[in-house]
């Protein structure tokens, strides 16, 4: 489901199947994805970006969010409104990103992590646990640097 006002670069991939693997009796089991993608109004998805479909439910991109070139949004992720993902940023599956977040160049967000509203991730930041306090985060693993000014 893509809002008619969204701009999707022709090389972007919307609805790619993600990877869900579990170990069962010493064997890897691959789970197919049957969900969809919902892209809100005035969203921009850049060249060679990938937005994976949900495993069962939807991957959701909120209104007025920008996903730059070469970004990856994993399955079942929910990104709020007015967010920006800079070039080569990546969000693993089932993450929750609040409103007005900025994900810097090459920043990575681990699967199942929640980030509150009004968070800025610096270049190359790696988020491995929930962020519950608005502000600027940098480093690997990402640590609070300062409040927004």
Q: Is 75 a catalytic residue?
A: yes
**Radius of gyration of the chain from Cα atoms?**
15
Strand partners, 3: none
Tokens standing for residue 96? 């929750």
Name the catalytic one among 9, 33, 75, 148. Answer: 75
Cα–Cα distance measured from residue 39 to residue 26, given in angstroms and rounded to the nearest whole number: 38
The tokens of 15 are what? 């609805």
Opening angle at CA 114, ends 66 and 97, nearest 5: 15
Active site residues: 75
């Amino acid at each position: 489901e893509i809002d008619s006002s969204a701009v999707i670069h022709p090389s972007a991939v919307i609805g790619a199947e993600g990877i869900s693997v579990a170990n069962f009796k010493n064997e890897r089991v691959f789970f197919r994805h049957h969900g969809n993608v919902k892209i809100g109004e005035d969203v921009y998805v850049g060249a060679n970006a990938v937005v994976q479909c949900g495993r069962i439910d939807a991957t959701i991109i909120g209104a007025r969010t920008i996903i730059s070139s070469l970004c990856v949004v994993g399955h079942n992720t929910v990104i709020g409104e007015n967010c920006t993902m800079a070039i080569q940023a990546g969000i693993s599956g089932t993450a929750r990103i609040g409103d007005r977040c900025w994900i810097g160049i090459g920043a990575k967000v681990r699967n199942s992590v929640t980030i509150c509203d009004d968070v800025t991730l610096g270049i190359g930041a790696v988020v491995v646990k929930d962020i519950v306090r608005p502000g600027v985060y940098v480093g690997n693993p990402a640590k609070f640097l300062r409040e927004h000014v």
